[in-house]
Structure 1
């Protein structure tokens, strides 16, 4: 082989002068710290200890909020509760998230279209070019409405999401208090696209559906299928309309599932599970990454041999671990059932249900 001019053989003195990689060891440390957080972070976030805050969008409290709440065992999902007296502010950000109604009745305006909801419904915000502008309204002035939002943060980054405030909530503090309590610059909207009137659809250049037999054509067909689902799929999944399913893990009703194709989004898996008085769920080993919100009851969950107590209003964050997490729920009330809402990102169709670890049923809920 002919050596090129100026080229030095491996092991030469010049090669030894190559600078040390400044990033590799930091990368190792970063992954190590994430795994340590999964091992030592909070698994149960107590609702009664979680404070309420007021911002321009509304009155909220945060159970999970990466990276700002760094003390929780799960750092991949944002979960917050909002209470609405009259109406929220209006803002725009990307969809792909779900809102579960805890209490009350109302409606949400999404890009000019109205969607009504009531307690136990699941509101879905679709994924649209540039995001979705939305505002929530309480139907009854005599009592507030409350809901929970579940946002898979990895998807938001991939969707290039940004939050742009379009209208302020009437519950926002007075301007004087806002100035007094806010940090400099917090009222400014940092938006890279707020100057655009809307999505420049002319860039797309085609309105017809894809044909052809090439693999590129297949991608365009997938595009068209998702566009149809986003446009025509359910934006509100009505809880009372869903059937209960008795399976190896227990009694469940599914709002979002990889096998369901009638909803506007598929980015989450969502179900409610009920445990009979004094009963238990099945025992599973799974990759983790699930979030539970206790709707009713009190009990305990065993996570890798450690027991955690929970009660109504608590949020439970099952950490992600590379060899999986073993868990089981118990209803400690012998008189009343317990119910909890479960949410996890739907990575299953691209990364597998095992998610690099394991998904196994270790014990059935029933004898």
Structure 2
């Protein structure tokens, strides 16, 4: 089937000939993703840890895009500073829009569009959008499908809500 078959309105073909363990979509267009984030932000407060967080999915199963890899996109509203938390599962982020910084295990890492940074498993982290007027968006991929299927997923808020910064990178 053409990628156009999966319109994003919750409909899938009744008899797809797709028998692969990963999504039949190989491209998730920013032109469609960003407006979806904006719509979600209108009706959703979001997470205190992640802002507006949405997961890319396999349109046939509703699950992760791959059996061992998940992908997400998050929107941080203008000036938003998320609460610090940690979880099992490692994440690789790319800044898709805007600029800001993340505090990872007490160290500040500044980011702007097209920068890439990593958050290792069980490291406290928080994200900050430095713009007072524009949103910022972070794309990420992760190993959560493996972690959750093994029953190992855990999440914990930082006891002080924010981390003390010990270094700037």
Smaller-chain TM-score bracket: 0.5 to 0.7
Higher helix share: 1
Q: Where in structure 1 are there 5+ consecutive unaligned residues?
A: 1-112, 122-227
Spell out the pairing of 1:186-265 with structure 2 (5 A cutoff): 230-231=19-20, 235-236=24-25, 239=33, 244=40, 246-249=46-49, 250-256=51-57, 261-263=61-63, 265=66
Change in Cα spacing, 1:307 to 1:326, as seen in structure 2 (3 Å) is same
Q: Aligned partners of 2:21, 2:150: CA distance in 1, in Å?
A: 24
The 5 A counterparts of 1:297-312 are 297-312=98-113
Secondary structure at the aligned position of 1:325 is classed as coil
Q: Is the 8 A contact 1:276 1:331 kept in 2?
A: yes
| Alignment match, 1:115 | 3
CA displacement at 1:267 relative to structure 2: 2.4
Question: Residue 153 of structure 2: which of 332, 336, 353 is its match?
Answer: 353
| TM-superposed deviation, 1:229 | 7.7
Match of 1:291 in 2: 92
- In the TM superposition, residue 278 of structure 1 has moved relative to its aligned partner by 1.2
SS of the equivalent of 2:124 reads strand
Q: Which runs of 5+ in 2 are unaligned?
A: 9-16, 163-169
Give the length in aligned residue pairs.
Answer: 134
Structure 1 CA distance for aligned equivalents of residues 89 and 66 of structure 2: 22
Larger Rg over CA atoms: 1
* Cα distance change of structure 1 residues 229 and 261 upon mapping to structure 2, 3 Å threshold: farther
Structure 2 length-normalised TM? 0.64
Greater strand fraction, Structure 1 or Structure 2: 1
Q: CA RMSD in A?
A: 3.4
Deviations 1:24-56 (CA, angstroms, capped at 9, x unpaired)? xxxxxxxxxxxxxxxxxxxxxxxxxxxxxxxxx
